[in-house]
Amino acid sequence: MNKKLLLLPGDGIGPEIIAEVRKLIGWINEHTDLTIDTEEDYFGGAAIDQYGVPLRDETLEVARKSDAILMGAVGGPKWDNVDYSIRPEAGLLKIRKQLDLFANLRPAIVFDALIDASSLKPEIVKGLDILIVRELTGGVYFGEPRGIEDLGNGERRGVNTQVYTTSEIRRVGKVAFEIAQKRQGKVTSCEKANVMESGKLWREEITRLHGESYSDVTLEHMYADNAAMQLCRRPSQFDVIVTDNLFGDILSDEAAMLTGSLGMLPSAALGAPGSPGLYEPVHGSAPDIAGQGIANPLATILSFAMLLKYSLDSVELGDKIEAAVQSVLAEGLRTADIMVEGCKKVSTVEMGDAVIAALKA
């Protein structure tokens, strides 16, 4: 089976961490039935330097024809003063919009070996494995009308519009239900239906979709403020959470912080079935440590494992890579960012090598 993958290393530590995935791809091409053909291009600040824009149309065309895209990281102080419309982050917004990536997948996973990094008690977060599915292209961050209006009497008025349609809710709901079918089979849908009509519509449409096609999945509704509480109180009650852009922004970050290891977390943005998904680590480009060979490649490697599962139909291989990551952590290997006493500090390259060694084992 041949698949096409576009690599966008980006800025800062991006190239170093993507290099470790390139090694993994080499191993996969040599040892499995899957063959991954890669292309690669500049993106973000690197693309500004090279082409004058953070994402050129040629890159976007390659992205469209790929099965998936893996990104490193974008941005850095070098491009802080470029025009707002061509700043590195604008490249990310553009690719999401152009590929219509409406479902953001944000796992919150606690690795046994890193359990002490959490600010929560070990017995509360042990084995934690939550997936938050956040609607990414609608809601109050995009709704019209919006703006700040001068009322003339020394008063101003700031307005944003929270808006969702049936089809926007259903398409992200489908993503959540179908992922839950491959996990623990439970979806918690979060909104504020008690005080917001957009939340009432969200609840009704998710309920209808569930009844039509996904009655094998357990569906639970929870107000978003209660979800913020429950994530803190007993996070293990959750499997998949599906929620809108605003609540998802907040709940996915809270859930990520439960793990205590932001530098370990992968993410994905998916569009319609069959269209290419975009995968990237949650952490940033860390310009302060770029080029030193000490960056942690595991969040990118885990993003690649998600990519194998969700975009390349290779669930088993994705699971295998996740198990390899668990195993190198259990052996006590740590990059500088997650180093604790009694473990062995390794470089970016050594960590990548260790994951491959664990795959072979």
Annotated binding site: 76-89, 96, 106, 134, 225, 249, 253, 284-296
Window of 20-28, 99-107, 114-122, 351-359 that interacts with a second copy by CB under 8 A: 114-122
Tokens 């310009």 belong to 287
Query: Is 225 noted as a catalytic residue in this protein?
Result: yes
Smallest gap, in angstroms, from Cβ of residue 297 to Mg ion? 23
- Beta-bridged to residue 220, according to DSSP, are 188
CA distances 320 to 78, 117, 249, 282, 356, Å, are 38, 24, 29, 21, 11
Contact with a second copy (CB under 8 A): which of 2, 81, 85, 167?
167
Q: Which is nearer to Mg ion, 270 or 358 (CB)?
A: 270
Q: Does 249 bind Mg ion (CB under 5 A)?
A: yes
Say whether residue 89 binds Mg ion (CB under 5 A).
no
List, as residue ranges, the binding site for NAD(+). Answer: 76-89, 284-296
- Based on CB atoms, which residue is closest to a second copy, 58 or 149? 149
Task: Choose which of 151, 212, 274, 360 interacts with a second copy (CB under 8 A).
Answer: 151
DSSP state of 299: H
Under rule CB under 8 A, residue 232 binds a second copy: yes
Task: Judge whether 192 counts as a catalytic residue.
Answer: yes
Query: Which of 60, 250, 339, 349 is the binder for a second copy (CB under 8 A)?
Result: 250
Asked whether position 162 contacts a second copy by CB under 8 A, the answer is yes
Which residue is it, tokens 């209808």? Answer: 208
Active site residue 141: yes
Would you say 59 or 261 has its CB closer to a second copy?
261
Tokens of 81: 């003063």
- What residue type is assigned to position 360 of the chain? K
Q: Across-strand partners of 331?
A: none
Residue ranges of the binding site for Mg(2+): 225, 249, 253
- Is 253 a binder of Mg ion (CB under 5 A)? yes
Residue closest to Mg ion (Cβ): 225
CA distances for 75 relative to 91, 95, 96, angstroms: 10, 15, 16
- Rounded distance between C-alpha atoms, residue 275 and residue 67, angstroms: 7
Comparing CA positions, the residue from 137, 116, 127 lying closest to residue 271 is: 137
For 124, residues 6+ apart whose C-beta sits below 8 A from its C-beta are 234, 235, 236
Give the Cα separation of 68 and 63 in Å (integer). Answer: 7
CB of 141 closer than 8 Å to CB of 93: no
- We find the least distance from the C-beta atom of residue 205 to a second copy, in angstroms, to be 8
* Cβ-based burial of 218 (10 A; exposed 0-12, middle 13-18, buried ≥19): middle
Binding range to Mg ion, per CB under 5 A, among 11-19, 175-183, 246-254, 333-341: 246-254
Look up tokens 């992205």; give the residue.
63
- Asked whether position 225 contacts Mg ion by CB under 5 A, the answer is yes
- Examine residue 160 and tell whether it contacts a second copy (CB under 8 A): yes
Distance CA 72, CA 64 (A): 18
**Contacting residues toward a second copy, per CB under 8 A:** 119-121, 124, 140-141, 143, 146-148, 151, 154-167, 192, 195-202, 205, 224-226, 228-234, 246-247, 249-254, 256-258, 260
**Contacting residues toward Mg ion, per CB under 5 A:** 225, 249, 253
The residues annotated as belonging to the active site are 141, 192, 225, 249, 253
